[in-house]
Amino acid sequence: MKDKTAFLKNKIDTNSPNKNIVPITTAIDSTNQLSIGGCSIEDLVRKYDSPLYILDEITLRNSCRAYRKALEKYYPGKSLAIYASKANSSIFMSNLIASEGFGLDAVSEGELLTALKGGVPNNKIVFHGNNKSDKEIEFAIKNNIKVIVDNNHDLKRLKEISDYFNYDIEIMIRFTPGIECHTHEYIRTGSFDSKFGFGIESLSKIFEVINTTKHIKLIGLHAHIGSQIFELDPHNDLGQIMVDVISQAKKFGHNIKELNVGGGLGIKYTEEDDPPSIDEWIRTVSLSVVKACKKNKLDLPILMCEPGRSIVSTAGVTIYKIGSFKEIPGIRTYLSVDGGMSDNPRPITYQSNYSACLVKDPLNSNSKNKYTVAGKHCESGDVLFKELELGNCKTGDLICVFGTGAYNNSMSSNYNRIPKPAAILVCDGEAEIIQRRESPHDLLKYDVLPDRFMKQS
């Protein structure tokens, strides 16, 4: 029988955390209890309650440094890693990535404001989005933030708003390079049929239109071919396509100084996953651009990439407390926890798989049972795991789910009026709160009862 806890026994790769299932500092202490960042998880739950998001600072910083080190190693020109903040946006995350020399990509005024409040320099922020509002564009322009133009409507609004305020603005053009990746349909963004970016066939017209504007300066190109990618060949192809577009833009008088190849490097959620290392991914991207620039006789642009999941996902875990059990003889046993689709919508949305274990018996040293782990929400599809193998457990025991640093907190909701969990940072035996737990009263904060209903009552 396959050992379902092998991921806890595997050697941890400190140079490329995306190839681990667990955070770098994960340990099993002398009492067979799970700890992360030198902190007992049971102690953390006693203090901060559950469900609980935990981020490991060492894993976060190692991930950032792996990108920086690889860019310095393989790309002879200037480079900048940009954190895709949609993966996990907070003042803390903005502050941490800024301290590691990263830029940040944002897709809303809220993410832009969070980045600035967290200390990310405005000249290292890029503003994405396929349907930016006028208010968001004004915010970006007034804060001298580079805008990645996604479509004709974007370009039209940028021209009108920059003319109105008489502000100059630097832009990058996002286009679809037509590269297919073997990933989930919903997160495949580089094919010709995508809601994101200009079609590559329309770029000549766009370059002409930009020449007619007063305040818009085209300095860069952007393309992104998907998420949770385990293949390297598509990124090898991407470099040549993007450099060819630089040559095309040059014919219209545009000097492209920046090339943003997006992100998309996958992580190891389960034992079956085998993503490339950060070093391998950066090497592929860098050598592809260098080779293409040499072939096209072009100077090297500033190379940008936008990792998100591969920075924060492995650094994060979610802790749940077991509640009820329901056995259906001959079919399955349900084990319910105190969270679910409101704090992790990815299983019900994408059918995503994770790895997990008991906190008190992470290696399943006693008898092994299989459970369907259900969330507490009023949806039959609120299931986090099907047939998860665990040791003997009971109501009140804790389950640790790995790889939840990305898209869990940022996609969380208040469905069923469930308050969002607290998030804490652990490092060297210390734990600090980075996002407070919501209370039921917090959920009423923006509710308003119309006056006429007040009078009736």
- Could you list the active site residues? 378
Other C-beta atoms closer than 10 Å to the C-beta of 13 total: 17
Phi, psi for residue 161 in degrees, rounded to 5: -75, -40
As to burial, measured by CB atoms within 10 angstroms (0-12 exposed, 13-18 middle, 19+ buried), residue 312 is buried
Report whether 362 contacts 21 (CB < 8 A): no
Q: With CA atoms as reference, report the closest residue to 281 among 67, 123, 48.
A: 67
Q: With CA atoms as reference, report the closest residue to 90 among 414, 263, 312.
A: 312
Which residues have CB under 8 Å from 335's CB, separation 6+?
A: 322, 324, 325, 371, 372, 373, 374, 390, 393
CA–CA dist 457, 452 (Å, integer):
9
What is the CB-side half-sphere exposure of residue 282 using CA atoms within 13 A? 27
Report whether 405 contacts 72 (CB < 8 A): no
CA–CA dist 162, 371 (Å, integer):
57
Which residues pair with residue 265 across a beta bridge?
229
Report whether 355 contacts 7 (CB < 8 A): yes
Helix (H, G, I), strand (E, B) or coil at 444: helix
Helix (H, G, I), strand (E, B) or coil at 220: strand
In the structure encoding, which two tokens stand for residue 214, read together?
A: 């007063």
Other C-beta atoms closer than 10 Å to the C-beta of 97 total: 28
Other C-beta atoms closer than 10 Å to the C-beta of 95 total: 17
